[in-house]
Amino acid sequence: MDGYGGSLILVRNSISSSKVSLESSLHLFNNTSSTIATARLQFHNHSLTIASIYIPPTANIDYQAFKTLLDPHLHIDILAGDFNAKSPLWGNSQYNARGEILEEAIADSHAFSVINTGDHTFIGPQSSSALDITICKHHIAWKSSWQIIPDLSGSNHVPILISIQDVNSTPNISHSNQTHSNHFQQININKINWSSFSSISAQQISDISDIDNSPQQAYQTFKNILMNATVQSATSKSYFTNAHSNRKQAPIWWSHECDLAVQQRKIAFRRFTAHPCSENFILVRKMNAQAKRTFKQARKLSCTKLN
């Protein structure tokens, strides 16, 4: 930890996990104030190794260090964190020195892909940038979705939600009574009007202007078109199930004032992302502080009532 960032992995108690030590392989990161936390998650038929990394802006990291980190023999499946590296590949308008060597190391690995969509993850007083990067093995990247949650939650980095289908599944479309699923919904493919799907997707693809974005953004756009066409072509909305129907309930101390504080914080964040300036940045910080005070007061009031 350098007072600004660090690495941590939290795993649900219901998931079998173990710590993975990589010190011997990542000695090139020593004495750079960088931190790496690694955990292996064990499921019933496969395992998944996740690494969380933080590299300070002033750390002296070279190409060889990134090449070692991305060595397939380390068996890291997902590498994510604040790299403080800039590249158009993950959404920045220009490179910095670290972004250039990281992009080169990713390409040279022949095993990893960046799944960022291009959204900025760091919000500064005058501008924003994409510093938080998610790098996955190829066989995981194609079945993953990546999105930011537009709420700073008291930080200057936005939370990122990564959803992964069964890592052992293979791409297929069944014509039985099985369902195709993604993070948001389940769709019975036998209840799709495929003629309508074809015309809708063709129209949306033809409406796309020349794409001057990264391959990841182009892929995400294409994937969204196919999913939107599928949704619009469903013959009955009853064939959809909301994946958020089992969303965790709010804590017992949560109040209407807490809801309002979160809403105001989100509004301030959206205003800043639309018009980044010092005035809107100050408003974001103000709403973050106000939300923290509201949560603290709500918890205190709830404890008082219980007593």
Give the number of domains in the chain: 3
Is residue 251 assigned to a domain? no
CA 206 vs. chain centroid, Å, equals: 29
Q: 158 and 22 share a domain?
A: yes
Q: 80 and 206 share a domain?
A: no
Selection from 139, 129, 205 nearest residue 170 by Cα: 139
Q: What is the pLDDT of residues 90-116, one digit of tens each?
A: 989 899 999 999 999 998 888 898 999
What's the CATH number where 117 sits? 3.60.10.10
- Token pair 């009574």 is found at 177
Q: What is the pLDDT of residues 162-194, one digit of tens each?
A: 988 765 554 433 333 333 334 344 555 566 777
State the DSSP H helix or E strand holding residue 148, giving kind and residue range, or none if neither. strand 144-148
Is residue 31 assigned to a domain? yes
DSSP helix/strand/coil, 157: strand
Is residue 92 assigned to a domain? yes
Q: 277 and 226 share a domain?
A: no
Q: Return the minimum-mean-pLDDT range out of 109-123, 166-180, 203-217, 284-298.
A: 166-180
Q: 186 and 300 share a domain?
A: no
Do the beta carbons of residue 173 and residue 194 sit within 8 Å? no
Which tokens sit at 40?
A: 């292996």
Is residue 2 assigned to a domain? no
Radius of gyration of the chain (CA): 22
Rounded distance between C-alpha atoms, residue 106 and residue 90, angstroms: 12
Q: What is the DSSP letter of 123?
A: E
Rounded to two decimals, the pTM is 0.61
Rounded to an integer, the average pLDDT of 253-281 is 79
Q: What is the DSSP letter of 251?
A: P
Q: 149 and 212 share a domain?
A: no
Q: 25 and 127 share a domain?
A: yes
**Which of 100, 131, 164 is at the close of a domain?**
164
Q: What is the pLDDT of residues 248-257, one digit of tens each?
A: 567 888 888 8
1 residue type, one letter:
M
- Token pair 């504080």 is found at 261
Is residue 272 assigned to a domain? yes
Which tokens sit at 141?
A: 């990247």
CA distances from 206 to 7, 200, 215, 227 (A): 44, 10, 18, 16
Q: What is the DSSP letter of 152?
A: -
Do the beta carbons of residue 264 and residue 271 sit within 8 Å? no
Rounded distance between C-alpha atoms, residue 206 and residue 226, angstroms: 13
**Which of 131, 164, 197 is at the close of a domain?**
164
- Domain extent at residue 189: 179-242
Rounded to an integer, the average pLDDT of 65-79 is 90
**Which of 164, 191, 224 is at the close of a domain?**
164
Q: What does the DSSP assignment read for 32-97? A: TT-EEEEEEEE-SS-EEEEEEEE--TT----HHHHHHHT-GGG---EEEEE-----GGGT-SS--H
Q: 75 and 157 share a domain?
A: yes
Do the beta carbons of residue 72 and residue 105 sit within 8 Å? no
Is residue 172 assigned to a domain? no
Rounded distance between C-alpha atoms, residue 220 and residue 226, angstroms: 10
Q: CA dihedral in degrees (198, 200, 205, 208; nearest 10)?
A: 170
- Token pair 């404890």 is found at 303
Q: What is the pLDDT of residues 123-166, one digit of tens each?
A: 887 778 999 999 999 888 888 889 888 776 778 888 999 988 76
Which tokens sit at 302?
A: 């709830």
Q: 92 and 199 share a domain?
A: no
Is residue 215 assigned to a domain? yes
Q: What is the pLDDT of residues 10-58, one digit of tens each?
A: 999 999 999 988 765 666 666 668 888 999 999 888 899 999 999 999 8
Q: 268 and 212 share a domain?
A: no
Instruction: Give the number of other CB atoms < 10 A from CB of residue 302.
Output: 15
Q: 229 and 269 share a domain?
A: no
Q: What percent of the chain has pLDDT over 70?
A: 75
Selection from 109, 111, 117 nearest residue 138 by Cα: 111
Do the beta carbons of residue 60 and residue 70 sit within 8 Å? no
Is residue 170 assigned to a domain? no
Selection from 32, 130, 49 nearest residue 89 by Cα: 130
Do the beta carbons of residue 170 and residue 141 sit within 8 Å? no
Q: 86 and 20 share a domain?
A: yes
Q: 62 and 191 share a domain?
A: no
Which tokens sit at 22?
A: 């990589």
